[in-house]
Amino acid sequence: MTDPNIATATTSRSEAVALLNDKARMGRDKTAKTMFTTNLLATLNPERTDLDLAAQAKIVAAMRNCTFSADSPERDMAWFEVDGHRVMMKIDLYDAYPVKVYSFQISGVA
């Protein structure tokens, strides 16, 4: 059985990377690590740090349903809104640690 996430003669490198990024973004890559900035969590819950888990769940739901622009063929960066705040998702691969890392940033209040 062939792994659909591995590039083949008919799959471009960008599409193969996009499939791996989709797998991580959708929570199907057990080695992927998701990181949220404290600024993002504080923006979503300014007075209730005990609600960070609820904020993270909202971010993950939005991330899994986000769309990608044409300039992101590897589907590694997207902008979306959570509770009226514009959030950026970026998937990076760090060679020292073979895991995908999501980093999220607030670009401003909508």
CA dihedral 7, 8, 12, 16 (to 10 degrees): -20
User: What confidence category does residue 48 fall into, taking pLDDT thresholds of 50, 70 and 90?
Assistant: confident
| Whole-number pLDDT of residue 1 | 43
Residue 37, token pair as written in the block: 């900035």
| Highest-scoring range by mean pLDDT, 31-35, 46-50, 53-57 | 53-57
Mean pLDDT of the chain: 80
Cα separation of 9 and 7, whole Å?
Answer: 7
pLDDT digits (tens, 9 = 90+) for 55-77: 999 999 999 999 998 889 999 99
The identity of residue 81, as a single letter, is E
Q: Is the backbone of residue 65 left (phi > 0), alpha (psi -120 to 50) or beta? A: alpha
Average confidence (pLDDT) over 28-38: 86
Strand-pairing partners, residue 4, are: none
pLDDT of 109 above 70: no
Residue 20 predicted with pLDDT over 60: yes
DSSP 69: -
Strands 99-109, 77-82: pairing kind: unpaired
Mean pLDDT over 38-55 rounds to: 85
- As a whole number, mean pLDDT of residues 87-97 equals 76
SS3 67: coil
> pLDDT at residue 40 above 80?
yes
Token code pair at residue 13: 């490198």
